[in-house]
Amino acid sequence: MRSKDRISYFYDGDVGSVYFGPNHPMKPHRLCMTHHLVLSYDLHKKMEIYRPHKAYPVELAQFHSADYVEFLHRITPDTQDLYLNDLAKYNLGEDCPVFENLFEFCQIYAGGTLDAARRLNNKLCDIAINWAGGLHHAKKCSASGFCYINDLVLGILELLKYHARVLYIDIDVHHGDGVEEAFYFTDRVMTVSFHKYGDLFFPGTGDVKEIGEREGKYYAINVPLKDGIDDSSFNRLFKIIIDKVVETYQPGAIVLQCGADSLAGDRLGCFNLSIDGHAECVKFVKKFNIPLLVTGGGGYTKENVARCWTVETGVLLDAELPNEIPDNDYIKYFGPDYSLKIPHGHIENLNSKSYISTIKMQVMESLRSIQHAPGVQMHEVPPDFYIPDFDEDGQNPDERVDQHTQDKQIQRDDEYYEGDNDNDNPEDV
């Protein structure tokens, strides 16, 4: 039984086996937990599951500087001591450590977002999901905030080959600064970020007054929030703003970053959103019936990240999920109640009605400054998949990617990473 929307879902088990380090909050293992929860609810039967291709360095350099990409390709935990100046230059260190298979990790999550954009462009699906993507802080020449390659910028650049205007929406608790910065001077991408702002909260940008510059003036929208925002305030603000944005901007495609660190109880977050409140944003964006690319992002309480993205996969499939979590390889993490939903948080809501009202007015004022959706002189569409000539005989056959391999659906059971390689106990909060 297929959903009426054709949905492509990208996953590679290898992405969840990388390990940032014992004290690092980023746990890619949450992606394995999410995937197994999706499988346990039989959601995979309602969509097409693909293993993404590993993005080539030349694809990553469509946005990132070639020297930065080359450095990520070259650096390893064993050699990092030889490159102390470069580590500082490219901002690798405590937040963005060098770990085993770092570059391959980047290739997989970026490849998933690129493949998702290409399937949307070629009308092979209506919605594409890459929970491994959404690393919105990475800059053109440096890593930032646990992010190395900005897959979102690469995916948006791909969508711009076919669409005059792309709308980017970010509901991570942190400001989507890397994506905003990449498109700050253009009207072809509108970025809308809902995030915690103030108290030196990372990354420190995202004031309501940051609206874009030059051709991009008024096309960056920031919704700065304070601690403790709840479902009703967040959803009301989200729906009013996004409704007006879509009406005014008329995007040809939407990219939605669903960072789960905006949930109540997140290790690094400070909002009170329930999973239902978070998922309500996904449901609302889906209703526009505009080609939609959905990614993950932040999220540091692993079991809640897995719950959230599974519920949101269900929302995108119009599937109601029973609250009792079915048996799966990670069931121990979801005890003691083994339920899908989490309660609201209890942080004091510092967002007064007058504060919310002021923010809304300022955003609406910016939107009124846009006369109508900007027109774009369309040019010949560049090829989807520019890959330089390789000596095929000299290539490792496991690393060559042809169209058939890209599109091959995942069938094997033995490729899902099942070990718990992140030193977290299920009881950790």
Q: Which residues are annotated as a binding site for substrate?
A: 95, 145, 300
One-letter amino acid for residue 233 of the chain: S
Residue set of the binding site for a divalent metal cation: 172, 174, 261
86-109: b (≥16 Cβ within 10 Å) or e: ebeebbbeebbbbbebbbbbbbbb
One-letter amino acid for residue 146 of the chain: F
CA-closest candidate to residue 152, choices 125, 195, 182, 127: 182
Of 64, 137, 163, 278, which one is the catalytic site residue?
Answer: 137
Phi, psi of 223 (to 5 degrees): -120, 85
Provide the 3-class DSSP secondary structure of residue 192: strand
287-376-291 Cα angle (round to 5): 20
Please give the Cα distance from 363 to 371 (Å, whole number). 15
Helices (H), 215-329: 231-249, 275-286, 302-316
Q: Which residue has the tokens 């001077």?
A: 185
Contact predicate 337/68, CB 8 Å: no
User: Maximum Cα–Cα distance for the chain, whole Å?
Assistant: 66
The continuous run of DSSP H or E covering 218 comes out as none
Estimate to the nearest angstrom the gap between the alpha carbon of 157 and the chain centroid: 15
Residue set of the binding site: 95, 145, 172, 174, 261, 300
278 is catalytic: no
CA-closest candidate to residue 217, choices 252, 240, 191: 191
Provide the 3-class DSSP secondary structure of residue 190: strand
Please give the Cα distance from 417 to 274 (Å, whole number). 28
Helices (H), 318-416: 353-368, 403-407
Q: Which residue has the tokens 């890959």?
A: 387
Catalytic residues: 137
